Amino acid sequence: MKILVTGANGYLGLGVVKQLLDDGIEVVAADFKTDRVDGRAQKMDCDLFSIEDPYTYFGKPDVVIHMAWRDGFVHNADSHINDLPKHHDFLLKLFKSEVKNVAVMGSMHEIGFWEGSIDEKSPCNPMSLYGISKNALRHDVEYMAKTYGKSYQWLRGYYIVGNTSYGSSIFSKLYKAASEEGKMEFPFTMGLNQFDFINYEDFCLQVAATIEQNEVNGIINICTGRPEKLADRVERFIKENGFTIKLNYGAFPERPYDSKAVWGNSQKIERILSTLKE
């Protein structure tokens, strides 16, 4: 199997490429730059959106996982809306090609304000340009898959916990502040919201396992299926890494579009992962 990974040099792409390679998959890694990508992959530095025939250009992959996305942590950047036609054109070319399966990285921010478990039937009312754009692309992908008779996988990612300063999540910022900047205090909200936190390595494993199979398709939550209070997870993260930094509770207000308690329904990903144990 040959899998094309777009956005391969990004925070998430790096780990997914490594996991696929560890699984014995032939990987074509594409991004503007691929200098940090695992050397076992076939690296291709390029502008995805300028390629006329991506299926042929990337060596006729069996599967594509489209992870490329600008400004993912800047939720109200205009680029989310402005880039939508480019994502559509790129994916349309692949749906029209002989590629067997198209997977696209989604986000729980498609849902908007919601309390409780999220599954593929949960209504979406996104409250940021990022969420609006991801949700629009999801509808587009569903339409193209039906139109061209392809299977698709929409990988709805949840809150990723990683031990690295690369990235813009609260965990990346905290890691940088504690390990690289030597700060003793970290500004924080009250941390009362409950989210579905998934470790970076588990996230990459779930993504790889999903796109390596074609029995479970459609919207798939990349998650643990369990909610945890933000303050508890961050305090545990500090302890796990042996940091001495303290949280300054209440320094920031809660974001108005963050749910009080939200988590992914894990039934579909558990079905996929169960095949790894057989």
Instruction: Report pLDDT digits (tens) over 46-105.
Output: 999 999 999 999 999 999 999 999 998 888 999 999 999 999 999 999 999 999 999 999
Same domain for 190 and 200, yes or no, is no
Same domain for 8 and 67, yes or no, is yes
Give pLDDT, residue 276: 80
Q: Considering the domain boundaries, does residue 150 fall inside one? A: yes
Same domain for 108 and 183, yes or no, is no
Same domain for 67 and 168, yes or no, is no
Same domain for 11 and 124, yes or no, is yes
Same domain for 100 and 178, yes or no, is no
What dihedral angle (degrees, nearest 10) is formed by the CA atoms of 37, 271, 119, 66?
Answer: 20
**In CATH, what number is assigned to the domain containing residue 109?**
3.40.50.720
Q: What's the whole-model pTM score?
A: 0.94
> Which residues span the domain enclosing 76?
2-160+196-226+263-276
Q: Distance (Å, rounded) from C-alpha 37 to C-alpha 13?
A: 8
Same domain for 151 and 190, yes or no, is no
Helix (H) / strand (E) containing 172: helix 170-179
Instruction: Find the catalytic residue in 11, 130, 175, 200.
Output: 130
Instruction: Report pLDDT digits (tens) over 205-220.
Output: 999 999 999 999 999 9
Rounded to the nearest integer, the mean pLDDT of the chain is: 95
Domain total of the chain? 2
Same domain for 139 and 172, yes or no, is no
Structure tokens belonging to residue 186: 């970290």
Catalytic (active site) residue 249? no
pLDDT value at 222 more than 90:
yes
Residue pair 84/137 in contact (Cβ under 8 Å)? The answer is: yes
